[in-house]
Amino acid sequence: MGLRERITADTKEAMKARDTARLSTLRLISAAIKDREIAARVEGGDETGLGDADLTAILSKMVKQRQESAKAYEEGGRLELAEREQDEIKVIQSYLPRQLSAEEVGAAIDKAIADLGATSIRDMGRVMAELRERHAGQMDFGAVGPVIKNRLMG
């Protein structure tokens, strides 16, 4: 069962169970996917639809947005809203691949550098592209960038 089918099936289950919080988040996910499909059709006339990698990217972006919102709510003293954002993050993350541990991220970076024969900071873009291809949705690429930079410089 693909990611899209899982989301659709879980939406139906949440409706039956009257789980309004989960249902609301699943509907947000479906809306984001539909928006991206429409944008893809307008941009390039792509009728094939989105693959699981595209859906993973959408979900990762949604998690990041909610993390930023939760932080802003906490700083503003709106803890009930921050908690709602955290609940949405949990639902969305259940559809993402397992996040790699710090050791696994380090090993993946070392492997990508070795496989590409990267030796200088000029190779950083290639290494990042390789990691995105191999580990989409499994690591925080904002945090990985400085690590790659350090390994290529040192």
Q: Over the chain, what is the mean pLDDT? A: 89
Same domain? For 43 and 109 the reply is: no
Same domain? For 86 and 132 the reply is: no
Instruction: Tell me the C-alpha distance between 5 and 113, whole Å.
Output: 36
At residue 82's C-alpha, the angle toward residues 76 and 83, to 5°, is 145
Same domain? For 121 and 88 the reply is: no
Tell which of 48, 65, 93 closes a domain.
93
Residues 6+ apart with CB under 8 A from 95: 3, 6, 7, 29, 55, 59
Check which CATH number belongs to the domain holding 25 and give it.
Answer: 1.10.1510.10
Task: Identify the domain containing residue 52 by its residue range.
Answer: 3-93
pLDDT in tens, 119-128: 889 989 999 9
Determine contact, residues 89/79, Cβ cutoff 8 Å: no
Determine contact, residues 91/26, Cβ cutoff 8 Å: yes
Same domain? For 89 and 132 the reply is: no
If one counts the domains in the chain, the total is 2
pLDDT in tens, 59-88: 988 998 999 999 999 999 999 999 999 999
